[in-house]
Structure 1
Amino acid sequence: MVRGVVFFDVDGTLVPGTSSGQHLAELLGHAAVVRDAEAAYSAGTLTNREVSVIDAEGWAGHSPAEVRGFLESMPLVGGIPETVAWCRDNGLLPVLATLAWDIVGAFLCDRFGFDRACGPRLALVDGRYSGQVTEHFDELGKRDFAIAVAEEIGVPLARCAAVGDSRSDLPLFGTVGLAIAFNATPAAQTAAHTSITGNDLRAVIPLLSTGLL
């Protein structure tokens, strides 16, 4: 029986000190462009739609299999499999609520057992990325995704938690019953119910245990 849902952010939370977008851009050859675009998003001068359009151009001509291979070397915090297992053992559904590309969320779901993920989608033509975005996603979409998941599962949002670190988590933090800022920006810490730092995701388990169980 599912007692609640825990929504985990990816970039800056599961992927420490950088983002999945920057990691992939390094290997795809457009790192500087993505770094500048993501900095502008963090500063509030670009929307995630604008960042996605900029980033997508650098994917043109590459295949999903090639990108999935690049994801194998993506840096991740420790303790992800253990935290996912703890959630499931305690009736909490682990879900990715992220603005990372859909292939990133799918990779992490397959690798660690997250139930599902959201995120923007890239267009494919003849099995290769075209450099266009087919589905945009922003911080409000992330919040709405979480609301829809909770409704589908049949649990109140008061029985849901979000673990995140930055601007894209703020609307979701204001919606769930427990918002945990993990290695977060000052704005995210202010918006959260509680904050913690560390290099292992298992640090959030006592907070989830106290707040949801």
Structure 2
Amino acid sequence: MDATSPRVSGSPASGPLRERGPGLLVMDADSTLIEQEVIEMLAEHAGAQERVAEVTDRAMRGEMDFAASLHERVATLAGLEETVFAEVLAQVRLTPGAEDLIEEMHRRGCRVGVVSGGFEEVVVPLARRLGIDHVAANRLETAEGRLTGRVVGRVVDREVKEIMLRQWAGQDGVDMARTVAVGDGANDLGMIGAAGLGVAFCAKPVVVEQAPAAVHVRDLRAVLDLL
């Protein structure tokens, strides 16, 4: 692969993406749009951070099925009060350059989406605040004001992330050749492979090896170097 700058490597935009610019950019949330893993932040409140961090790391390296890992991690959250979501949202830190990247994409007429293996309860209000156009994430089940330790509905895994990229591109009338997907974990590889330009962002080795391009600094503005 050809290095395009000290901050990035791989193949920069080409074809329709280079000629007409991006029409849709889709990012992962945890460790991409934001600095942290929300499941680990929730687990800290449940006293299960170490166990959850270990399972998260294995899942992101592609060593275990993402859906199975999610159910295992979510089970540790049973009994937490719903008020924990507001506490975690207040602690979330955006990755440097996140707001600038979103603003620049919108300036270019590009739509922006976030598809997350994390949770609607945190991702949706964050996306709303940032003016993000599309959002998909998991939803945690609650009963009587407390988490049950289960997920409601489908799990946003590798397959669903790719499906959402394609669905949003169709809704926005954007050719897949003009889409960009950015993520850090093995569950992002489907959308990274399907996009016109797939970008591994400070990613696990398995993702860097398979992604057409990679960003090596924790600054989302570096994605612009590839465009």
Shorter-chain TM-score tier: 0.7 to 0.9
Match of 1:72 among 90, 93, 97: 90
Q: Which residue in 1 is equivalent to 2:51?
A: 33
Offset at residue 3 of structure 1 (A): 6.0
Instruction: Determine the structure 2 residue equivalent to 1:104.
Output: 122
Between 148-157 and 103-112, the greater mean CA deviation after superposition = 103-112
What is the TM-score of this pair, normalised by structure 2?
A: 0.82
> What's 1:185 paired with?
204
Alignment of 1:108-127 (within 5 A): 108-127=126-145
Q: CA deviation at 1:43?
A: 4.3
The separation in 2 between residues aligned to 1:116 and 1:126, in whole angstroms, is 30
Matched, 1:10 2:29: yes
TM-score (normalised: structure 1):
0.87
Amino acid at match of 1:15: I
Match of 1:196 among 208, 215, 226: 215
- Give 1:8 deviation, angstroms: 0.7
> Larger RCO: Structure 1 or Structure 2 (Cα < 8 Å, ≥ 6 residues apart)?
2
The alignment covers a number of residue pairs equal to 206
Give the one of 179, 183, 187 matched to 1:164: 183
SS at match of 2:118: coil
Structure 1 unpaired stretches of 5+:
none
Decide whether the 8 Å contact of 2:81 with 2:145 is kept in 1.
yes
124, 147, 151: which is aligned to 2:166?
Answer: 147
**Which whole-Å CA distance do the structure 1 matches of 2:216 and 2:86 have between them?**
29
Deviations 1:97-132 (A, max 9, x none): 221122232132023221122122211223432211
User: Structure 1 vs Structure 2: percent identity of aligned residues?
Assistant: 27
Root-mean-square deviation (CA, aligned residues, Å) is: 2.0
Residues 166-207 of structure 1: per-residue CA shift (max 9 Å, x gap): 201111111110111221222222222221221221111232
